[in-house]
């Protein structure tokens, strides 16, 4: 009987061991699948961001970026491949990996270096800013990277905007380090996309359905939209009382339609305030808190800067170009609808400035028909509350448990970043963080990175690429554009 019990126990233990081993193998396979899927996500996110940057180059700086050049760049992005960094960097990979790792973990040094580079008029400062976002912080897919970048933005408010003689003009220009990083961050933030879609989709679709005429509220510009024969047909003889009366009637009618449209947008804006991204709210509140302490800046001017950041840099661009932000996908936007969307965006900005000394006198009659605190109250909600020093953590972290041990960066970007930091070090604009940067650069090899002189064949002016990050246990890899011989190299960086 005892032998039978022992035999039964041994049988059960053997079955349990087989079951445990089977479950372990299943978990290992699932982990491998998760890492492969995450790697695919990072690469897809990087390519999408680079394509967006490429599109912006074509739209905004079409004089400098020809369609042919942008198409070539898009082709390079589509053919992106990845190689292990050590294959090109050899033993130097460790040194450069340590440099990038320590630089990533020092947001203050990054912010002060970018500001110093702008003061020194470094021509490659903008490309370094893109490298910081797309390579060093991996497009902020990981929560840790998002937290680091938020700290960079906070330090940029302190070092760049606070120290500027005219911070609002600097912000509106859109070329400073803070503006560029904020734009890159807000465009890729998932919670921001949810907020914009929930807030703008329905009112924009209603506007597209009702786009009959240009909702022009300036009498002079309204007249210019009609030919002389049409003017006489709609308004009568030019210069007569009847002409002026008819023009004013059309202006009043357009104003009434525009007010109704804007009220719809405001209603949805208030309705979805609860889902406004916590990260962006933290940035705006930090800006208000920091700049309010500057003696030369009035409270109204600080509110105006927060309005510019919130509306001019985030909400209104999505109002005017909803298709680029994924708010609408299958509804065409003609010239009339685009003009009316621009009118809505302009009125939203003017309403947010209600109560300050600023204001467009051309929109006073339209603004008088709104609740004076409708949009300003939304701004108060965003900048209100207790401004904590620690960046907020995302409430939904779909990548919890994954860590990043790699950074993707092209060879030319690596050289540009290192040379940029060396130029900042040799200048006189860096003060408190000078020792920290000196310690970072002291560990880098003096020679140009690479195992052979074949690296010199890399064309410096080739459109640059900066691939996304990979999961924790993957090697660091970088893209190679086959057709234009762009060599990209990556560093195996250990992130804790």
Q: How far apart are CA 141 and CA 406, in angstroms?
A: 13
Look at residues 423, 427, 405 and name the one whose alpha carbon lies nearest to residue 415: 423
* Residue scoring higher pLDDT (203 or 221): 203
Q: How many CA atoms lie within 13 A of 249 on its CB side?
A: 9
Task: Please state the three-class secondary structure of 141-176 as a single string.
Answer: CCHHHHHHHHHHHHHHHHHHHCCCCCHHHHHHHCCC
- Is pLDDT above 90 for 210? no
Q: Can you tell me the mean pLDDT for 310-325?
A: 88
Residue 1: predicted pLDDT:
56
**Res. 63 pLDDT band, cuts 50 70 90:** low
Query: ∠ CA 428-431-432 to the nearest 5 degrees?
Result: 165
SS3 assignment, position 353: coil
Cα 261 versus chain centre, distance? 28
Average the pLDDT over each of 39-48, 154-163, 374-383, 480-489 and give the range with the smallest value: 480-489
Separation CA 68–CA 54 (nearest Å): 12
Q: How far apart are CA 283 and CA 63, in angstroms?
A: 33
CA geometry: angle 176, 178, 183, nearest 5 deg: 100
C-alpha span between 169 and 308 (Å, rounded): 10
Which phi and psi angles does 495 have, rounded to 5°? -110, 130
Question: Rounded to 5 degrees, what are φ and ψ at 485?
Answer: 60, 35
Sequential DSSP letters for 389-447 = SSPPPPS--TTTT-----B---HHHHHHHHHHHHHHHHSSS--TTHHHHHHHHHTS-SS
Q: What pLDDT band is residue 395 in, cutting at 50, 70 and 90?
A: low
3-class DSSP state for residue 20? helix
State percent of the chain over pLDDT 70: 82
Cβ pair 355, 253 in contact under 8 A: no
* pLDDT score, position 451: 55
Is the pLDDT score of 194 beyond 80?
yes
Give the pLDDT band of residue 76 (cuts 50, 70, 90). confident
Predicted confidence at residue 459, as pLDDT, reads 30
Distance CA(352)–CA(305), nearest Å, equals 11
pLDDT band for position 295 (cuts 50, 70, 90)? confident
- Alpha-carbon dihedral of residues 254, 255, 256, 262, nearest 10 degrees? 110
Structure tokens at 353: 């400035």
DSSP state of 83: E
Residue 481 has pLDDT above 60, yes or no: no
- Residue 84 three-state SS: strand
Evaluate if residue 323 carries a pLDDT over 70: yes
Count CA atoms closer than 13 A to 8's CA, side-chain side.
5
- According to the model, what pLDDT value does residue 246 have? 81
DSSP strands (E only) in 59-172 = 83-84
pLDDT in tens, 128-151: 999 999 889 988 888 889 999 999
What is the DSSP pairing of strand 83-84 with strand 477-478? antiparallel
Phi/psi of residue 468, nearest 5 degrees: -80, -175
pLDDT over 50 at 466, yes or no: no
Contact by Cβ (8 Å): 489, 83: yes
- What distance in Å separates the CA atoms of residue 369 and residue 254, rounded to the nearest whole number? 13
Whole-number average pLDDT of the chain:
79
Half-sphere CA count of 411, side-chain side, radius 13 A: 29
> CA 383 to CA 385: how far, in whole Å?
7
Q: What SS3 state is found at 356? A: strand
């Amino acid at each position: 009987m005892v032998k039978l019990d022992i035999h039964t126990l041994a049988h059960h233990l053997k079955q349990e061991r087989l079951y445990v081993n089977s479950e372990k193998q299943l978990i290992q396979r699932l982990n491998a699948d998760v890492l492969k899927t995450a790697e695919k996500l990072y690469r897809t996110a990087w390519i999408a961001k680079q394509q967006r940057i490429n599109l912006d180059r074509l739209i905004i700086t079409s004089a400098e970026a020809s369609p042919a050049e942008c198409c070539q760049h898009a082709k390079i992005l589509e053919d992106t491949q990845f190689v292990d960094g050590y294959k090109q960097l050899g033993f130097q990979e460790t040194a450069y990996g340590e440099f990038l790792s320590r630089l990533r973990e020092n947001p203050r040094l990054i912010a002060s270096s970018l500001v110093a580079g702008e003061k020194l008029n470094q021509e490659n400062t903008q490309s370094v800013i893109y490298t910081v976002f797309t390579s060093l912080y991996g497009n902020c897919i990981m929560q840790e990277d998002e937290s680091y970048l938020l700290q960079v933005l906070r330090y940029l408010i302190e070092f760049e905007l606070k120290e500027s003689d005219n911070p609002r003009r600097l912000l509106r220009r859109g070329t400073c380090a803070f503006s560029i990083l904020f734009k890159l961050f807000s465009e890729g933030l998932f919670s921001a996309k949810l907020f914009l879609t929930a807030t703008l989709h329905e009112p924009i679709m209603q506007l597209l359905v009702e786009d009959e005429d240009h909702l022009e509220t300036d009498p002079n510009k309204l007249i210019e939209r009609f030919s002389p024969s049409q003017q006489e047909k709609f308004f009568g003889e030019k210069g007569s009382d009847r002409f002026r009366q008819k023009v004013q009637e059309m202006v009043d009618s357009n104003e009434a339609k525009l007010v109704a449209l804007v009220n719809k947008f405001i209603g949805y804006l208030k309705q979805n305030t609860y889902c406004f991204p916590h990260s962006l709210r933290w940035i705006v509140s930090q800006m208000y808190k920091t700049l309010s302490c500057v003696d030369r800046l009035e409270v109204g001017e600080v509110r105006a800067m927060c309005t510019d950041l919130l509306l001019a840099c985030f909400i209104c661009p999505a109002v005017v170009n909803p298709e680029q932000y994924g708010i609408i996908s299958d509804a065409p936007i003609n010239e009339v609808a685009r003009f009316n969307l621009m009118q809505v965006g302009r009125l939203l900005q003017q309403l947010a400035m209600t109560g300050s000394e600023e204001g467009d006198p051309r929109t006073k009659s339209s603004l008088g028909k709104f609740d004076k605190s409708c949009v300003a109250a939304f701004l108060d909600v965003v900048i209100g509350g207790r401004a904590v020093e620690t960046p907020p953590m995302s409430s939904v972290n779909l990548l919890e448990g994954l860590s990043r041990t790699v950074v993707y960066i092209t060879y030319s970007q690596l050289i540009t970043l290192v040379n940029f930091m060396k130029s900042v070090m040799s200048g006189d604009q860096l003060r408190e963080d000078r020792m920290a940067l000196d310690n970072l650069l002291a560990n880098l090899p003096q020679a140009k990175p690479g195992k052979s002189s074949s690296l010199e064949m890399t064309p410096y002016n080739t459109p640059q690429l900066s691939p996304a990050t990979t999961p924790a246990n993957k090697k660091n890899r970088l893209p190679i554009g086959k057709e234009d011989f762009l060599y990209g190299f990556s560093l195996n960086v250990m992130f804790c």
